[in-house]
Chains A and B, each alone.
Chain A
Amino acid sequence: QVQLQESGPGLVKPSQTLSLTCTVSGDSISSGAYYWSWIRQHPGKGLEWIGYIYYSGSFYYNPSLKSRVTISVDTSKNQFSLKLSSVTAADTAVYYCARDGKRYRDLDYWGQGTLVTVSS
C-alpha cells in the first residue's frame, strides 16, 4: 500500500521560507518508476501543480513559482521536499505531495495534505 505523508510547519511568517517534506512508504523513490510532485490548493479554490522531482534529481518547476521554488529528493530516507521562499499571504494553501506517473502524468497516490498559513 503506497502512502505519502506531508510534514512541516503549519504557520510561516511573511517573507520567510515554507519547508515541507513528503515521506513515501510502500514504494521506493529510487526505483525510478515515477516522478514525485507537489500540488497546492488555495482555500476553496482549484488545484495548482507546483512541480516534480525525479530520483536522479532532475526536476521541473511551474514557471509561475519557479523563482521561489526548490524541490529536492533524499532517496536514502525515501523523502522529497518542497521549499518556497519569500512567502506572502497568497501562498496560504493546502499543500499536497503525490506520486506522478511518467507515462500518463496521472497523480495516483496523494498525501492527505497539509494546510500552511502565512501570517505574522
Chain B
Amino acid sequence: DIQMTQSPSSLSASVGDRVTITCQASQDISYYLNWYQQKPGKAPKLLIYDVSNLATGVPSRFSGSGSGTDFTFTISSLQPEDIATYYCQQYDNLPLTFGQGTRLEIK
C-alpha cells in the first residue's frame, strides 16, 4: 500500500492567516491526489481533486499543488468555518489510502 504522511498533525492559526499542510507519499503518485475536509461529527467533504482542481462550490481560498511524492494544501486566508481536520488521499494505486489527517484549530 502507498503510505501518505501529512504534516503537521495539528495546527493552530489565527483568522486571516495563510495555512499550509503538506502530504508526502511513500512512492511517486504523479498527480493522483485529492483533499478532503472533515468537521466534527460530519462526513468528509471533497475539496480538491487531481492535486489542484476545486470541487464544486469550494471557495477559492483553498488551493493545492505538487506532484510525485510531495504535495501542499493551502488556505490563503483562514476563516472560522475552516476549523476541521484535513485529509489527503492518493489514487495512483489501489487500495485508496489517506493521510492520517491534520487537525486545524483557531488560535
Interface flags for B3-22 (1: CB within 8 Å of A; 0: not) read: 00000000000000000000
User: Mostly helix, strand, loop or mixed at chain B's interface?
Assistant: loop
**Which residues of chain A from 73 to 113 have a CB within 8 Å of any chain B CB?**
96, 98, 101, 104-108, 110-113
Interface pair B98/A46, CB less than 8 Å apart:
yes
How far is A112 from B49 in the complex, measured between Cα atoms in Å? Answer: 21
Given contacts A47-B44, A49-B97, 14 further A-B contacts (CB under 8 A): A46-B100, A46-B101, A47-B89, A62-B95, A96-B43, A96-B44, A98-B43, A101-B49, A104-B34, A105-B89, A108-B46, A110-B44, A110-B45, A113-B43
Chain B residues with CB under 8 Å of chain A are 1, 32, 34, 36, 42-46, 49-50, 53, 55, 87, 89, 91, 94-101
Chain A residues with CB under 8 Å of chain B are 37, 46-49, 51, 60, 62-64, 96, 98, 101, 104-108, 110-113
